[in-house]
Structure 1
């Protein structure tokens, strides 16, 4: 009797599992077909600015300043994102000697040219937390003494050309409207509403939630061991491009980082210090660009969509070397804290494009001015 019951129950569970598998496969097939239809080209090669974008941007600035105040420490107002730096280090940015003439624009216009730069490596969160916590990681590069009028500058930033990246190729919102809704929910501590704003399933952003969870990744072994992406598009002369920075260990002396104690709160700074300051071994990277092909689904206004590398492969345009150096001093850490990285500190040939970049222009500048004023620091450079 009991044996028969268990056999019946096992058969029933087996059928339920098969049914669930069939439903899952059907859902996967429908989802794949839907996104293949939705994410099909061609797309516009020009920006498309929504009429309500300015009003949405003002609301985001107010929420960003609210977050800055929530996360301030006892003495200083911190950044609204990427508050914790692993260090600011000197770097050398060298244009490829044999660069394709079609890509010779802006700071890439002179093959073989080397620019001196600052590089800031950071965690993504607005609060300085342990490095072992899952998080995004950021890289900011500031080229120095770049001649020419910039799209946004102060007397202190007039010679700067900035590149701002983090270690995931996609952003978890598509545009300014979704960013405003998502950011407002998170600023109010209602994280569930960030991706599920209502009971209507049509408003749910499950794909974007998955991107957000992928972005909050375990820490790398070292800040110089990650790939960092622009996420949003930019101009490169006449081209629409995305860019990324990848590790290029073959261009530096061989080096194996000793195992770090990842339980320490600042082990990523320790890893950087170990390589550059103790072992005196440089770190090497390559800057690459990906050109938009608007005949395919490579949108300018949706930062949650990857541009296909099969259609538009990345091309190396410059190398970046971080030489061995001493960087972890009180004076340099304070200098690092006062640096401001903004993708609009840029020559017109490198103009940021798309809604998220237009948002950055307003928010980065507003928060930077607010932060420096509250800290009694000179305006950012």
Structure 2
């Protein structure tokens, strides 16, 4: 028997006095990355997950007849919403795909009704995922230390990064063979160079889920996608190998992913403040609440790339109060995400906005 879901209340979070200073330092470090890349390339990109591999347009269908514990927030009302998906890797500079990094999936759900988070513009609900079950640092202060190291290598020694990634992939495979997974090695370039269309993605951090607390996941279920799970992309000498592969595959694939919710059932065993702790699925299983469907399309159609990759931002703080981001890492994401988007907007002279359902982003 599963334990009942924990009920949300503000006391599940523990806010420390140091957080404000850490967030200021995160902004400063992200500035280093943003300015270095913009000055070197003449174009500003995101401070994390800068390189996109595909921009997709689809539909999220929310399941009907969900039990009360799952019929919360966005998922309380069955129906369809237009969505945009952005596939990426997590570096803050544009690297050749031979540097293999964890995959990211950003999801923007359009025309979502309900009370908004403070300063959340528009009517969209944003979700951000990676293809790993835990975050690389337990809190924002530890993450800041890692980010400073990465900032020092931004736009430098590209050839060394490619060579180091090859070595680190070998180390990671050896560790995996003996049952050890290392998010740190993956973040440094040792992640398997897998096809992003076959991956399962996780929010890794918790969120309010209406009356409850949850983590989220997006998992491929269409056979054409699951056939790609674990498939590695050969990227030597092909700087945009992932983008080219996704573009070729999506021309003939109807992609279907389940949107899944993992309800917190024990605050000790499924903590809110430490995202390095994986919530055991035997104790807190993921449960389906909807399906994302993406028709065959050109995943790098210029109009859509311009509208979404350049003209939009993805932030976990853009959405409903019912899905408030929880925990130290999520609290530290708010200001830097806005800071990064504002820098891109200024440098590129390209307004960033939240779309509505009637908007048409390219093909």
Same fold (TM over 0.5): yes
TM-score, length-scaled by structure 2: 0.80
1:37 is matched with none
Partner in structure 1 of residue 343 of structure 2: 370
Equivalent position to 2:105, from 124, 139, 153? 139
Query: Displacement, 1:124?
Result: 1.1
Cα distance in 1 for partners of 2:219, 2:53 equals: 18
Contact persistence 2:66–2:289 (CA under 8 A) = yes
**Deviation per residue, 1:126-151 (Å, 9 max, x gap):** 11112232201110010112123421
The CA distance in 1 between the partners of 2:302 and 2:267, in whole Å, is 51
Q: Secondary structure at the match of 1:103?
A: coil
Q: What TM-score does the superposition give when structure 1 sets the normalisation length? A: 0.76
SS at match of 1:71: helix
Quick one: distance in 2 between partners of 1:210 and 1:276? 30
Relative to structure 1, the CA distance from residue 160 to residue 182 in structure 2 (aligned partners, 3 Å threshold; closer, same or farther) is same
- Give the corresponding residue for 1:161: 125
The whole-number CA distance in structure 1 between the counterparts of 2:23 and 2:203 is 20
Alignment of 1:1-381 (within 5 A): 46-72=12-38, 73-111=40-78, 113-153=79-119, 157-189=121-153, 210-215=182-187, 216-220=190-194, 222-250=195-223, 262-263=235-236, 264-277=238-251, 279=252, 281-294=253-266, 296-335=268-307, 336-381=309-354
SS in 2 for 1:129: coil
Relative distance call for 1:295 and 1:119 in structure 2 (3 A) is: closer
Aligned counterparts of 2:240 and 2:225: Cα–Cα separation in 1: 26
Does the 8 Å contact 2:198/2:226 carry over to 1?
A: no
Q: Does the C-alpha gap of structure 1 residues 185 and 256 become closer, same or farther in structure 2, counting only changes over 3 Å? A: closer
Query: RMSD between aligned alpha carbons?
Result: 2.6
* CA 373–247 in structure 1, closer or farther in 2 if over 3 Å, else same: same
Instruction: String of CA shifts for 1:296-323, please: whole Å, max 9, x gaps.
Output: 4211111111111111111111111111
- Report the 3-state secondary structure (helix = DSSP H, G, I; strand = E; otherwise coil) of the residue aligned with 1:102: coil
Q: 1:343 to 1:247 in 2, by over 3 A?
A: same
Give every structure 1 segment of 4 or more consecutive aligned residues whose post-TM-superposition deviation is greater than 4 Å.
252-261
Could you tell which deviates more after superposition, 252-261 or 87-96?
252-261
CA distance in 2, matches of 1:328, 1:132: 20
* Shift, 1:153, TM fit: 4.8
Q: Check 1:182–1:262 CA distance in 2 against 1; reply closer, same or farther (3 A cut).
A: closer
Counterparts in 2 of 1:240 and 1:260: CA distance versus 1, 3 Å: closer
Q: Distance in 2 between matches of 1:260 and 1:295?
A: 39
Size of the aligned set, in residue pairs, is 314
Q: C-alpha distance in 2, partners of 1:338/1:354?
A: 29
What stretches of structure 2 of length at least 5 have no aligned partner? 1-9, 155-179, 355-363
Query: Relative to structure 2, which stretch is displaced further, 44-53 or 61-70?
Result: 44-53
Please identify the structure whose Cα radius of gyration is greater.
1
> Which consecutive residues of structure 1, in runs of 5 or more, have no partner in the other structure?
1-43, 191-207
Q: How far is the alpha carbon of 1:243 from its aligned partner?
A: 0.8
Are the structure 2 counterparts of residues 171 and 379 from structure 1 closer, same or farther at C-alpha, using a change threshold of 3 Å? same
Structure 2 Cα separation of the partners of residues 89 and 189 of structure 1 = 31
